[in-house]
Structure 1
């Protein structure tokens, strides 16, 4: 069965130029932990892009994670879903 782990989210499928597991493993541990708890199927590249932009602005890791949570909340609002956090 192709695409069996897409969940209930109607997001477009995309081909990835890099190995997603290798990209995930290269993320900082705190970002990997956030990604495993995310409500949406984020790509490591998307998370890395938001993380690096926040850190380049001098934001703390906690502030960068808050930025990711806001981005996820906006995406969920566009999809008409509620944020899910443990």
Structure 2
């Protein structure tokens, strides 16, 4: 009997974890901002003038490549800017 109870508890915990993970994501996205000039090569979040999709920036700190960061953090990062400064 104890084995069945343990499985039921683990299953309930897993379901609760998935439910919480799904509800937390939109709140996090609303509290973020685009931060240009700090993305590592290949880790940008969206297309740039010189790359066609996310994850395709060619150099570190590319001025037109951004990553989403928590609101208020970007300008505290070295090289971080809220606006693209690509020429």
Shorter-chain TM band: under 0.3
TM-score w.r.t. length of structure 2: 0.21
Structure with the largest fraction of strand: 2
Structure with the largest fraction of helix: 1
Q: Answer with 1 or 2: which has the greater Rg.
A: 2
